[in-house]
Structure 1
Amino acid sequence: RKTAFVDVTGARTALVISGVVPGPSPLEGWLRDGGFQVKHAGPTDPLDDVADFAAKDLVVLEDVAAETLGEARIRALARAVTDVGTGLLLVGGKHAFGPGGYAGSPLEAVSPVSFDLKKDKNRPALAEVIVIDYSGSMSAAVGGQTKIALANEAAARSAALLSPGDSLAVAHVDTEVKWTVPLAPIEDGKALGRVIRSVDAGGGGIYSQVALEAAYAALRTVPKGTLKHVLLFADGDDAEEIVRCPPLAAAAARDEITTSVVSLGRGSDSTLLERTSSSGGGRFYLVEDARTLPEVFSQETVLASRRAFREEPVTPKATSDGSFLRGVTTLPNLDGYVVTTLKPGARLSLVGAEDEPLIADWTRGLGKVGVLTTDLAGRWSSRWLSSDDAIRLSAQLAIALAREPATPGARLGATARRGELSIEATDALGTADGSVLV
């Protein structure tokens, strides 16, 4: 038998999960000034259950990558918003939103903005080749799914992120290259995802040199002016011919083809895999848990597009009279933000270039969710951090999203016994409240 009571009186509480280095986030002080009891948590602190977030009136997630936060925390946080009414503020940075690997995640589902790649006529299209190791070692199970299924899901999410005008190829490689999706412009990302997910593991180890040679040959047919990128996924302990790959990647880089590498586990080949990415002008990811592959692939595809950030002087412009804009008269320029797209039904309150969201919010389930797509660590917001109006706006946004204080003295009780859940609500006098709807 398990019983839990939540006392809904007293000062409102906030949990700030921040990747800002050095910390703490300035938002923590602003919330304390607003009367909140504030707790700071690192992205790897044990917060894996809905109850860990449900006790808070507000959670702030600031510049933390999805891979670092982890799937369990992401699911629990999203459920705390929709099922319990915890308020959520997502704050930008280099590891937030799409660049942080959250595209397709439960947090994107509750966010008022989407994290996919917005087609920008002023920026080049992306041609990406994803090379997946589907050797025999990829048939091993992790958390109920095979490694190849997780890698396929990761590639399918990347396909869903790309815009019309971008191009994608997916090659599954063991001793030979199998073109699951030949290089072509994106037309239906969901249909491509179904094809990618249908592939099972093969045999032998991945022949890395053969894989890269095929990928580079395909991208050399792409018209000039297109961003050309290879994402190689390989077992860190079973990548054949890897010694020949760094010079191959360096030659491709001279042809303006970049190469990023995901090594599954640190093994005997991880050092050369990392050298391949550095020679190819890309990024290297060491993944210990295959369940994080979808977040890693999404993050890499967004970064490769070079459409993830708008880094230029921007004058914020108000578009609504949200309560958090009260008393705000003048906002200084920003030097950038993460590019996102407003979802239908969400409220847009502050915009940057081309009316791209800076502040947006909506209600999801029982909770309110808002985004501030710039950072609060000074990378793009140095003038904001010394502006009274910008500080007021940031604090008022967070306060507006927090769960509303309930009736003083009210208590909510839940008892689970033999598979049945009983919930009892009482008012300040201890009288059962028959108006509660469950």
Structure 2
Amino acid sequence: MFKKILIANRGEIALRIIRTCKEMGIKTVAVYSKADEESLHVRFADEAVCIGPAPSHESYLKIPNIIAAAEITNADAIHPGYGFLSENAKFSKICAEHDIKFIGASGEQIEKMGDKATAKETMKKAGVPTVPGSDGLLKDVDHARKEAKKMGYPVMIKATAGGGGKGMRAIWSEDEMEKNFESAVKEATAAFGNGGMYMEKLIEEPRHIEIQVVGDQYGKACHLSERDCSVQRRHQKLTEETPSPFMTDSLREDMGKAAVKAAEYIKYEGAGTVEFLVDKHRNFYFMEMNTRIQVEHPITEQVVDYDLIREQILVAGGVPISGKNYYPKLHSIECRINAEDPYNDFRPSPGKITTLHTPGGHGVRLDTHVYSGYMIPPNYDSMIAKLITTAQTREEAINKMRRALDEFVIEGVKTTIPFHRQLMDHPDYLAGNYTTKFMEGFKMDSKYQD
């Protein structure tokens, strides 16, 4: 097993990884930018190395600096967390070249699944259901028009190198095509340096349901059931739950089998997530695979009693998985607490936390790196905490979340706590009647204002 792991990340996920490493008796190295000097992951790691100034491209995305930090501290493995370099095939390969184990997928596996058009073709070959779409990338707007005519409107054009909703456009008729195609290409080129586009049939009233998988070095994979991530804003998840209120036993079985088939087909190593769109008739279609740990992994851990970070480390160390699948015994909900103002179009709200009171009690978990006096930098993602409640039933988990949100006090910055509190009272959410369109037309009620 590894003697020392460098965590190539920051914030709550870095702290989360450090905690599991400590429990396993593994030494840790934190890397940090100058903006994160006072962050808790720096304090709790056994060693810490500054890798550059605040901007990500000069610190957390700078591969030579991270490899140098691993070499000077004699780290024998790197855990990338999520975001930053976690799905960077080049980084995975460079780690291997330096005899440092990348705790995650190989460069080849990331390449197969990281490019969405390639991933879709791979899944077709594996026999996993996919959304009807273009055969490869679109050459130009005329090609896009022909493909849309073939499959019928509405369609969705997507950036092949995309993520976070960048370079995605829903197109409902031919006269919308040119304007949307050009703006999507521009946005994708600016965000990813790649303006490649492909097209899919737009699934109406879709749910975004993902299956957690783990694969070992011997070609074996298992699943840990689903998470419903349909409550999203601009393709960014706001809250997740497991089990999905839309799920049936037979659908869970079919989606689980498809996800395991996908993982085993590419001989996937590590924790990953196979993401599906599910239509109102419960037909499911492969959307993409995230070759890393997910932000929302704690809810799966809570309902199956399974430490996913520990399993990632064991698999990377060559330990085989048991091969059995896991099914939810409880109900768990996660609310992402962002430093954003929900009353002002979710505008980011960096700054100093002047007062912090965190919730507790049975079935309440809080993953966070912030504390009273902590300065939230403007340079990174605005998520500052994940509040997770777990109970015997969905209704109990919602009641627990209401109570926990009411206890959660953060002053000095605006947060999304009021949004989540309102969500927990929303009749459609309470009925489990929501799709990825849930946030369209959602308006904040002033009664939930801090």
TM-score tier, shorter chain, comes to: 0.3 to 0.5
Question: Rg: which structure is higher?
Answer: 1
Q: Which has the higher contact order (CA 8 A, sep 6+)?
A: 1
